[in-house]
Copies of this chain bind each other. A is one copy, B any other.
Amino acid sequence: MICMKKNRMVVMFMYVIDINADIGESFGTFKVGDDKRLIPYITSANIACGYHAGDHVVMDETIKLAKSYGVGIGAHPGYRDIYGFGRKKMDIPAEEIYQMIVYQIGAIQAMCHINDVKLIHVKPHGALYNEASVNREVARAIARAINDIDNNLILFALAGSELAYAGQELGLQVAQEAFADRMYTDKGTLVSRNEAHAVLHDEKKVEEQVLHIIEKQEVITETGNVLPMKAETLCFHGDNKNAIQLIKHIQSCLVAADISIKNVGG
């Protein structure tokens, strides 16, 4: 927070950040995550659209839940792969990725419509997100699908990724995304989960990384280098035991640092 006093007028520049998490990832009788406990702590909800998780029932219930908390609703489209939860890379032509995204966004748009709420953003899921971060063709197919459906939709993309560029190229509003508890490589990509240091388990370290990203627009990489990183939204994972605890802690840190937490489309 920067305050400038000039006579009696006080101008305040406040840092603002959005907090997003994946929810609505149950499928039929298979339950995933604890959305009801998580929802009060986020400002953007990435809701699975039936391809990697979620179904018509779960989607409807999750939209109602998000709406009741005033949380921004986003589509979270993935590869068509319930069994693998959309985490397996699939070799799919760009044109089919475009169609896949259109289908899923359409489904959730209608679900939003019957609940009288607006779809705000789109964030690809899992292996598709990773692929779109580095593969220009895939990135462009996704951005084009979003643009063709509704160019007011905000694209959530890894800060500095191919997906972010693809969105900007088409004039979409892009919310650059940073990960609160993931270690970064010098290239600005996430350290693979196969590596031991991929995830920051220490609450203090997560807090430092988050504040560093928001206040300095930089992140410290795995090698100790400093990388510029401008992020409008922070991703948290809701599906592990300590998720709620961590997200609550970071929220209180953000509040203490006078950083405003609000939806990116708000």
Chain A residues near B (Cβ < 8 Å): 27-30, 32, 50, 55-57, 59-60, 80, 82-85, 87-92, 96, 99-100, 102-111, 113-114, 145, 148-149
Say yes or no: A56 contacts B96, CB within 8 Å.
Answer: yes
* Selected contact of A114 from candidates B57, B104, B148, CB within 8 Å: B148
Nearest B residue to A50, CB-CB: B103
Contacts of A87 in B (CB 8 A): 29
List B contacts of A99 (CB < 8 A).
Answer: 56-57, 59-60, 111
Q: Give Cα A259 to B260, complex, Å.
A: 64
Closest chain B residue to A85 by CB distance? B29
| A103 adjacent to B107 (CB under 8 Å) | yes
| Residues of B close to A60: CB separation below 8 A | 99, 102
Q: Are B83 and A27 in contact (CB under 8 A)?
A: yes
Residues of B close to A104: CB separation below 8 A: 107
Q: How far is the CB of A41 from chain B (nearest CB, A)?
A: 23
- A28 contacts which of B55, B82, B102, B149 (Cβ < 8 Å)? B82
Closest Cβ of chain B to A198, distance in Å, is 17
Pick the contact of A30: B30, B55, B80, B102 (CB < 8 A): B30
Is A84 within 8 A of B29, CB to CB?
Answer: yes
Contact B105 A110 (CB under 8 A): yes
Whole-angstrom distance between the alpha carbons of A116 and B187 in the complex?
40
In the A-B complex, the 10 residue pairs with the smallest Cβ-Cβ separation, listed nearest first, are: A106-B110, A30-B30, A56-B99, A56-B103, A29-B85, A28-B83, A107-B107, A106-B107, A114-B148, A106-B106
A148 B30 Cβ-Cβ under 8 A: no
Complex-state Cα separation, A184 to B82, whole angstroms = 37
- Whole-angstrom CA separation of A92 from B55 in the bound complex: 14
New contact pairs (5) apart from A56-B102, A88-B91, A113-B149, CB-CB < 8 Å: A28-B83, A55-B80, A56-B96, A106-B106, A106-B111
Nearest residue (CB) in B for A111 is B102
In the bound complex, residues from chain B placing their C-beta under 8 Å from that of A50 are 103
Nearest B residue (CB) for A108: B106
Residues of B within 8 A of A106 (CB): 106-111, 113
Residue of B nearest to A148 (CB): B114
Q: Is the CB of A55 within 8 A of B29?
A: no
How distant is A99 from chain B, measured CB to nearest CB, in Å?
Answer: 4
User: Contact between A83 and B80 (Cβ–Cβ < 8 Å)?
Assistant: yes
